[in-house]
């Protein structure tokens, strides 16, 4: 028996999202069981199962941590850019006039 991760989606334009897992002997059996465990109240219209051992991840999760300042990777890092530009233009005008 293997563990199968179960994914479902609510509409054909929606992404599949993980909803749980079943224990089953093979993919056909996993689908059969997943239908009744995770789609019995019209929670979705499509179902995927994938053997957990076919899902790969980093062995060392600390690899995913970010140490230094990465605010430039976020929109928030650019929130005051308009004001900064205005001030720069004003300074440039002052320099040109003097």
Give residues in contact with other proteins (CB under 8 A).
22-26, 28-29, 32-37, 40
CB of 79 to other proteins, least distance (A): 49
DSSP annotation of 96: H
Euclidean distance between CA atoms 61 and 44, whole angstroms: 32
Nearer to other proteins, 18 or 85 (CB): 18
For tokens 């900064």, what's the residue? 84
Structure token digits, residue 30: 């996993």
Nearer to other proteins, 13 or 40 (CB): 40
Shortest reach from residue 69's CB to other proteins, in Å: 47
Q: How far is the CB of 58 from other proteins (least distance, A)?
A: 29
Residue (9 or 39) nearer to other proteins, CB: 39
Whether the Cβ atoms of residue 8 and residue 19 lie closer than 8 Å to each other: yes
Q: Give the count of beta carbons closer than 10 Å to the beta carbon of residue 37.
A: 13
């Amino acid at each position: 028996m293997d563990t199968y991760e179960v994914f479902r989606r609510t509409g054909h334009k929606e992404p599949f999202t993980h909803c749980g897992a079943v224990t089953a002997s093979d993919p056909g059996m996993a689908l059969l069981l997943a239908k009744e465990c995770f789609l019995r109240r019209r929670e979705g219209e499509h179902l995927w199962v994938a053997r957990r051992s076919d899902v790969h991840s980093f062995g060392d999760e600390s690899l995913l941590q970010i140490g230094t300042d990465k605010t430039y990777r976020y929109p928030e890092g650019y929130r005051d850019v308009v004001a900064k530009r205005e001030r720069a233009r004003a300074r440039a005008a002052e320099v040109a006039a003097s």
